[in-house]
Amino acid sequence: MRKIISVDEIIRDIYVSPGKPAIMLAERYGYLPYMVERYIRVLGFRETTKLLEAFEKPLAPVIRTNTVLIKPEKLAERLENLGFELESITWLPYAYRVVDAPRSPSIGSTHEYLKGLYYIHRDAAALLPPVLLIDDSYEGDVLDMCAAPGGKATHLAQLLYGRGRIIANDLVLYRIRSLIGHVMRMRLDNVDVTWADARKLPSIMNKRFRRILLDAPCSGEGTIMFDPGRKTRTTIKDLALIVKREIELLDAALDMLEPGGILAYSTCSIAPEENEYVIYRLMMFRDDFEIVEPRVKLFEWSPWLTSYKGIDYTSDFKKCLRIWPHRHGMMGFTICLLRKI
């Protein structure tokens, strides 16, 4: 692995000194001040307040029908007969938001769940990367570099069922156990699970791919509504270490990609440091990839930033997408599609 960038250099690039408005909001909502300062720089004070308020509101879970085993309308009928109230996800016809539930059973303990007829996602935003990466005409294998616990890997597997295999890799063993459990429960026999540090895959796997998903381990800053501890968990140094790993992972992902192939880079973080900055730094020493626009516009998502903290990024970042909780009613999430050239 080539040395890409030092942690000290990242800290120098990403640190922002919080002003009085950021400190005030940070105290009110319980955040580290540097996080709120960043939101204010990107959104302004008023919209930052709306973002922080959105993080205080819980989101209902979303289920994704396992279309290999059952039709969406049949699953919805069975769950509604059990007392669940479902709301269709308008841009994905085989997914539903669970807006109300009976006292028993829970959505994770029905016979339908145990039989593998659906997967439970915390939110609909997690459904986007597989849908944007794979179209109906694609045939071939897909590498999911950081696949556990399996939401996106099993989604890819059902999209490609009969047309390709998923190589689902992860490093953390207890998460791999969850991944294998979901694959077996959902009876998806086109998934191969591997155990490796994804940064080492180019040197240990004698295979390259036309489609790769890198849902990178991140700060999880877009998931504060599920885990309020993330308001204070990630210091600047912690964030710099995460960013360094993300750059290394994306570098390895590009090495695994065939020329002309497409890579989806996603995080459940709204932080520019983990998204725009990661690809900006990679562009400083690689010129063998380009940013591509998603083939479909499922709804009015927000674009990535083209400048932040005195750094002018490429205008192509407008092709990447960011989900804001206060604008889109979902958890914070980002996706950027890259083509190897």
pLDDT in tens, 273-308: 999 999 999 999 999 999 999 999 999 999 999 999
In this prediction, residue 310 carries a pLDDT of: 87
d(CA 77, CA 222) in angstroms, rounded, equals 32
In this prediction, residue 16 carries a pLDDT of: 86
User: Crossing angle, helix 45-55 and helix 33-43, to 10 degrees?
Assistant: 120
In this prediction, residue 5 carries a pLDDT of: 82
Sheet with 95-100, strands from edge to edge, namely: 85-88, 95-100, 62-65, 118-121
d(CA 214, CA 266) in angstroms, rounded, equals 6
Which listed residue (146, 218, 268, 336) is catalytic?
268
Residue listed under structure tokens 């890259």: 338
Residue listed under structure tokens 């992860």: 170
DSSP state of 3: -
Our answer to whether residue 268 is catalytic in this structure is yes
Q: Identity (one letter) of the amino acid at 316? A: D
Q: Are 119 and 72 in contact (CB under 8 A)?
A: no
d(CA 311, CA 252) in angstroms, rounded, equals 25
In this prediction, residue 1 carries a pLDDT of: 44
Q: Are 168 and 144 in contact (CB under 8 A)?
A: yes
Go through 87-105 and write b for each residue having 16 or more CB atoms within 10 A of its CB, e for each that does not: eebeebebbbbbeebeeeb
Per-residue pLDDT of the chain (341 residues; tens, 9 = 90+): 455 789 999 999 999 899 999 999 999 999 999 999 999 999 999 999 999 999 999 999 999 999 999 999 999 999 999 999 999 999 999 999 999 999 999 999 999 999 999 999 999 999 999 999 999 999 999 999 999 999 999 999 999 999 999 999 999 999 999 999 999 999 999 999 999 999 999 999 999 999 999 999 999 999 999 999 999 999 999 999 999 999 999 999 999 999 999 999 999 999 999 999 999 999 999 999 999 999 999 999 999 999 999 889 999 999 999 999 999 999 999 999 999 99
